[in-house]
Every structure is written in C-alpha cells, then in structure tokens.
Amino acid sequence: MECISVFDMLKIGVGPSSSHTLGPWRAAEKFLAEVRAKNMMDNINRVKVDLYGSLSLTGKGHATDLAVMLGLSGADPEYIPVESIDVIISAIKNKNEIFLGNEIIIPFHVETDIVFNRNFLPFHANGLTFTAFTDSEEYTSTFYSIGGGFVVKENEDNQKSESKNAFPFPIDKATELLEYCQKENKKISEIVFENEKSMRSEEEIHNELLRIWDTMLECMYIGCHTEGTLPGGLNVRRRAYDMHKNLIGVLPYEDPHSWLQIIRQTEVKFRQILKWVSCFALSVNEVNASLGRVVTAPTNGSAGVIPAVLMYYMVIENHDANEEHIKQFLMVAGEIGSIFKKGATISAAMGGCQAEIGVSSAMAAGALCEMMGGTPEQVLMAAEIAMEHHLGLTCDPIGGLVQIPCIERNTMGAIKAINAAELALETDAKNAKVPLDKVVATMWETAKDMNSKYKETSEGGLAIGVGLADC
Ligand code: SF4
C-alpha cells in the first residue's frame, strides 16, 4: 500500500504538461544526482537524452525537450522564475553548450543530443534515457514519467515510499477510506489530515496547502489579465481575458486577493456562474499552455479544474470561505486523486484524457461535496459520478500541444464536477449502484482497451482530423 500525500498529488510546477514537462524535468534532476553520486560530474564532456513513445511523439508540443534542458541545467520547476526559462533555453541553443547542474559548462547540441525515438519502451509509454559520457566511461539511466509529475527509475517501479506504513490510515481504495470515516466518525478531510500529520507538522501542512492555493489564485489572476495568442503555432487566442473583462466590468481591485473579494459582488445568475467557472478554468490552462506556473492537479493538462471549482466555492457558494475551507477542499481532492492513481492511472499516455480531466473532475466533485455538507458516502459518490461521465475520454491534442481540446476541456471538467457534487448531495448514497472503486477499476480496464492513437500520441482523433494548417 503506497502512501501518497496531498502534496504528491498537488505540485507546484511549470506548464504545459506534468507527464511530458514536469516528469522529464524531475528525471533530469534525478540523473544529475546519480552522476554526482558516482563522482562523474567534473569529467562529463557530453550528455545525450533519448525520448521514447509518447514523450517523443508529443514531446515537441509538450516542451519535453525544453524540460530536460532545464532539468540538466539544475533549474527547479517549483521555484524557477518563469521569465528566466527563455533566457536559459536561448543560451543553450545559441552557444551550443549547457551549464550542467549549474556546475560545469559542456557542449550541448539540441538537434543531436536530444533524440526523439518513435518506439515505445516496454514498461510505460513515457520513457527517457540519459547518457553521460566522459573520456573513459559512459553512464546510462532510464526513467519513466508515469503521470502527474511522478517519475520512476527503470527496474525500480515497484519501490514504494519508505514511509509506506507511516500513515495511521493507510488507504488503497475508497471502501477503506469510508471505513475509517465511519469507525472514527470523521470527515474525509479529517482522515487525510491525520495521515498528513504523520509526515509533517500541522504548521507545515497549513503553510504548504495555502502556498498551493496562492499559486492557483495567482495563476487564475494572471490568466484573466493576459491577452494575446498562445505559443506553439495553433494561433489559439486567449479567451479568459475577454471573458473576465465582460464579467468583472469596472469594479476596482489591485491584487489577486482583492480581486477575489470583488468577484463576490458581481451578479451571478446561472449564465454568469457558467462563465465565471469556465473563465477560471480557461485562465489556468492558458497560463499552463504558455509555460507559466501552475499547480499540477493531478496533471498540468487538467490543472484548471480544481482551482475553478474551489474558486466557485469561494466566490459564489460561500462568501465566508476561509483558509480552513481551502485546506479542507485540497485535502479531499488530493485523497481522491491518489485513489485513482493507485487503482488506475493519472497518465494520459496510459489512459487517455479520462485519466486527466476525468480524475481532476472527480477530485473536485468530491471536495466540493464535502464543503457543501456532504457525508463521506456522498463525497465518494460525487467523485464516482464525475468519473463515470468521463469514462473513455480520449487524449488527442492537436499538434501535440496542450491547447485543443485541453484548455476548453477543463471548463467541462469543472462544470461536471459541480453537477456531480449537487447530484450526490441530493441522493441517498445507500442507493448508489456504482461504488467509486468500481468506476476506478472500470477506468483502468477502459484505459487498457483504448487504442494507443488516443493516448497522448496525437496519432488519432482531433489530432489528425484537424491539422496545423487548419489553424
Ligand atoms: S487531451 Fe486531455 S489528457 Fe490529452 S493533453 Fe489534453 S488535457 Fe491532457
């Protein structure tokens, strides 16, 4: 039984993709740690990166090549100022050299030192191999980016966290979570909090959850205040800017927090609610598509769903919502995401978009349901409903970019999450026909049956129906 923390499921990083950007970036960092441990660093005169499978097929559009260069440069995706990304990449390309691990400068030719191999490695669709050369030896290491920024090293995929038995309430399945809630007479968020406390102090949990929320809020704020066209060649016009302008009108604010307060004063009939929620989701994914800072939730492609639904709760449902509500929401969302990760996948290369938007929608639905007073049974039911209506959703990004259908799809995931929460709140959970664990298992079976054309390869669906030339 693997212990997955809320902070594993919700990670601060850089867009556009958790599996194709954040994961490879982290893999490069791990590789650097390995060569340092082998005392090779000072003698390295070349580094080569081989990308395989989906990382190769959609790697250009998902900025995998940039991610490995940034990782090899020693940059941290959580803290790097996003405006310095261009500077680092341009320097590598212009000088044909890289400042490896921020320690030594070696030659690096992007065209030949990053190799896009179309074949798939056996363990996972997202494989990448790093090779370091010295005058006398070479060292090779293979990693897999298994979704949501999680990375495993070849032949170590079954390694579990050392803290695996540290959780007082170890959870693999929704049924186990529910049993703990019933036995302890606790909400899901309270059970999750107990587990988190076994890993870090209450103060740390508090600060880190609020740091995640602040990052989400700032991301929505930036997205709603940035106009123009997204990079990548599809000429996708940012829509959050205009939508936000129409919704907010002339009301004054000066920063993300005063903005949030002001939104509470706007008119919110059904149409405006739909537009606000969509606007929040669009804003995050437009920032994500432009290599901005986002919270992986549980992936970057689906990063807009959870902030949009939490913001909906804060500005529309509960004007008194405070830090405690935010923490509660994120803890429930994280736990539901981890149940999907353990029982199925959060990798689009393994399960299509049901693994991204479907899971994020389920996470948001469950979290919202608890905030609105749902019982643990209803929370799990909300998550189940949200996923049930995403089963089979394919991943077919046009041009390999995390833009179409990805950005809009976050709005759909967010709205579905709200609907699922409301349905669950109006239902006696005893009458549920499909338990959450069944839908998790079904999602995994569906993932295995899905043709690889629809699993983040851009070889089917919209990706071939609509070409770059059409855009
Ligand atoms: S289609 Fe869905 S799974 Fe695929 S890249 Fe876009 S958001 Fe991610």
Ligand 1 pocket, mutate which of 55, 356, 396, 453 (most atoms under 8 A from CB): 356
Q: Are 46 and 133 in contact (CB under 8 A)?
A: yes
Residue with the smallest CA separation from ligand 1 atom 6 is 406
Tokens of 13: 């990083």
Cα–Cα distances (Å) from 445 to 253, 344, 388, 461, in that order, read 48, 8, 13, 20
Report the pLDDT value the prediction gives residue 1, as an integer from 0 to 100: 61
Q: Which residues contact 268 (CB under 8 A, 6 or more apart)?
A: 276, 316
Q: Which residues of the chain have pLDDT under 50?
A: 159-164
Give the nearest ligand 1 atom to 393 CA: 2
Residue with the smallest CA separation from ligand 1 atom 4 is 395
Give the nearest ligand 1 atom to 456 CA: 4
Instruction: Please give the distance, rounded to the nearest whole angstrom, from the Cα atom of residue 307 to the centre of ligand 1.
Output: 17
Ligand 1 pocket, mutate which of 286, 404, 409, 455 (most atoms under 8 A from CB): 409
Report the pLDDT value the prediction gives residue 161, as an integer from 0 to 100: 46
Q: Using alpha carbons, select from 192, 381, 454, 414 the residue that is nearest to residue 303.
A: 414
Report the pLDDT value the prediction gives residue 468, as an integer from 0 to 100: 74
In sequence order, the β-bridge partners of residue 229 are 237
Q: Which residues contact 75 (CB under 8 A, 6 or more apart)?
A: 25, 84, 85, 88
Residue 10's Cβ-count burial label (10 Å; 0-12, 13-18, 19+) is buried
Ligand 1 pocket, mutate which of 395, 407, 410, 454 (most atoms under 8 A from CB): 395
* Domains (range + CATH), the chain: 20-145 (3.30.1330.90), 174-465 (1.10.4100)
Instruction: Please give the distance, rounded to the nearest whole angstrom, from the Cα atom of residue 429 to the centre of ligand 1.
Output: 31
Report the pLDDT value the prediction gives residue 162, as an integer from 0 to 100: 46
| Other CB atoms within 10 A of residue 467 CB | 10
Q: Which residues contact 11 (CB under 8 A, 6 or more apart)?
A: 18, 22, 78, 148, 149, 295, 296
| Strand boundaries in 164-286, DSSP class E | none
pTM for the model = 0.94
Taking only the tens place, the pLDDT of each residue in 151-163 is: 999 887 554 444 4
- Torsion sign over Cα 377, 390, 212, 75: positive
Amino acid at residue number 149: G
